[in-house]
């Protein structure tokens, strides 16, 4: 059987061919989402999930999808963790092959808005190697695509203390931080398992949040340190995480449980999302809250208010990522533990509805992780752990 599989001559024609972009998009297959109306009589955005999105090449598979980003052209970028696939998932990649399908997709994958696979790149051998150390993340985390369509991401694996920047086709540009080097919340150059990054308006903002507990800012072509903040825009507080992060710690209760009134960030600062109108949202996942900051002309963050989401929730906790509607009216807050996306009126933070539920069918979520939004208001949602997928929620209007 191994010989037949290696030759790709017996089972399904083309099953072992190289990955090719889908020539045409599949017709949308829209499925109703679980929807809870919380504020009766208040119109809110409605969505259906496209169960046919995306279309993967016939020989590729995604592992845990730990980041999703929409670029200025509405292309959708995802990063996933090939190492999260097992030998029974990637039988085609074994030597010799033991199955018709599949092999891991490249770590960084780009889809069109209608779901066509456009291209992908990146493996553990991509590097770069700096001072003899491979900087490629052992467990990639988060992704952002800037206006020049260069790609940024961090990591939360062993020694993943760098944010890396590549061209759209995978050529290394630069690194902030260094793999294997970290020095706590006060260091002005080194990071600690960075979870998320934003690049724009002359600044780089990083949620330096799986080991450290802060947001850190850099500016200029040389990425000079330009400030760091903890909860309530104070100096970063609390000790950094001891040892390496593993996913079992995502549900740990050794911190005593979520505390939405905590004066310091919890031990997973998971997102940093500027609003485009002078504000910045930060996800303090382990404390079941986001914090909203205003940003002064010099880049300084000033605390505005807490946004508490399902405060009694345990497990993996709630606020894992945030997206803003194109018109700026609505806030979408991804809730990992409850497997739903809360819809808020952005002006008041009033929770008006929620969509989704825990589960494995279309429009349901398992370890809901990252969200982003395109220019038409469609949401893209990723899942990690045993979820391992990305879904498109199609905006159908406000009712």
Under the banding of pLDDT at 50, 70 and 90, the label for residue 242 is confident
Half-sphere exposure of 193 (CA within 13 A, CB side): 22
Buried/exposed code over 89-102 (b: 16+ C-beta within 10 A; e: otherwise): bbbbbeeebebbbb
C-beta of residue 284 within 8 angstroms of C-beta of residue 291: yes
Range(s) of the domain holding residue 110: 2-398
Mean pLDDT calculated for residue range 180-192: 97
Q: Indicate the pTM of the whole model.
A: 0.94
C-beta of residue 40 within 8 angstroms of C-beta of residue 113: no
pLDDT of 16 over the 60 cut: no
pLDDT of 154 over the 90 cut: yes
Total Cβ atoms within 10 A of residue 10: 12
State residue 215's pLDDT score.
98
State residue 12's pLDDT score.
36
pLDDT digits (tens, 9 = 90+) for 108-127: 999 999 999 999 999 999 99
As to burial, measured by CB atoms within 10 angstroms (0-12 exposed, 13-18 middle, 19+ buried), residue 9 is exposed
Under the banding of pLDDT at 50, 70 and 90, the label for residue 7 is very low
Question: Is beta strand 301-308 parallel, antiparallel or unpaired with respect to 289-295?
Answer: antiparallel
pLDDT of 135 over the 70 cut: yes
CA-to-CA separations, 247 to 162, 256, 286, in angstroms, rounded: 19, 18, 13
Tokens of 304: 């505005």
State residue 22's pLDDT score.
54
Q: Return d(Cα 192, Cα 160) in angstroms, integer.
A: 7
Q: Return d(Cα 155, Cα 192) in angstroms, integer.
A: 9
Mean pLDDT calculated for residue range 375-379: 98
Q: Return d(Cα 334, Cα 352) in angstroms, integer.
A: 14
Number of domains into which the chain is organized:
1
pLDDT digits (tens, 9 = 90+) for 250-283: 899 989 999 999 999 999 999 999 999 999 999 9
Strand arrangement, sheet containing 269-274 = 269-274, 279-284, 289-295, 301-308
State residue 21's pLDDT score.
52
Reported residue count of the chain is 399
Under the banding of pLDDT at 50, 70 and 90, the label for residue 396 is very high
What CATH number should be reported for the domain holding residue 336?
Answer: 2.120.10.30
- The residues facing 373 across adjacent strands are 379
């Amino acid at each position: 059987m191994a010989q037949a599989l290696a030759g790709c001559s017996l089972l399904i024609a083309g099953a072992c061919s190289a990955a090719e972009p889908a020539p045409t998009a599949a017709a949308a297959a829209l499925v109703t989402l679980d929807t809870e109306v919380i504020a009766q009589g208040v119109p809110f955005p409605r969505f259906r999930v496209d169960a046919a999105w995306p279309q993967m090449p016939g020989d590729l598979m995604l592992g845990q999808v730990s980041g999703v980003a929409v670029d200025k052209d509405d292309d959708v970028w995802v990063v996933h963790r090939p190492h999260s696939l097992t030998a029974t998932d990637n039988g085609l990649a074994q030597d010799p092959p033991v199955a018709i399908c599949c092999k891991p997709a490249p770590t960084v994958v780009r889809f069109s808005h209608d779901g066509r696979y456009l291209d992908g790149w990146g493996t553990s051998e991509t590097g770069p190697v700096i001072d003899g150390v491979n900087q490629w993340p052992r467990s990639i985390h988060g992704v952002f695509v800037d206006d020049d369509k260069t790609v940024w991401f961090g990591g939360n694996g062993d020694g993943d203390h760098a944010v890396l920047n590549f061209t759209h086709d995978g050529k290394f540009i630069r690194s902030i931080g260094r793999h294997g080097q970290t020095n706590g919340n006060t260091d002005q150059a080194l990071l600690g398992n960075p979870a998320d990054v934003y690049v724009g308006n002359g600044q780089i903002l990083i949620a330096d949040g799986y080991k450290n507990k802060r947001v850190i800012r850099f500016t200029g072509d040389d990425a000079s340190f330009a400030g760091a903040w903890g909860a309530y825009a104070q100096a970063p507080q609390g000790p950094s995480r001891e040892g390496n992060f593993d996913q079992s710690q995502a549900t740990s209760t050794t911190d005593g449980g979520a505390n939405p009134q905590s004066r310091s960030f919890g031990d997973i600062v998971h997102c940093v999302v500027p609003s485009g109108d002078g504000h910045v949202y930060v996800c303090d996942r382990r404390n079941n809250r986001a914090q909203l900051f205003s940003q002064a002309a010099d880049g300084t963050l000033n605390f505005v208010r807490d946004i508490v989401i399902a405060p009694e929730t345990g497990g993996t906790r709630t606020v894992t990522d945030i997206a803003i509607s194109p018109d700026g009216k609505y806030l979408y807050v991804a809730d990992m533990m409850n497997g739903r996306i809360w819809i808020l009126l952005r002006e008041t933070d009033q929770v008006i509805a929620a969509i989704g539920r825990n589960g494995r069918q279309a429009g349901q979520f398992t370890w809901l992780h990252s969200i982003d939004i395109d220019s038409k208001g469609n949401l893209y949602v990723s899942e990690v752990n045993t979820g391992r997928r990305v879904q498109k929620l199609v905006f159908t209007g406000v009712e």
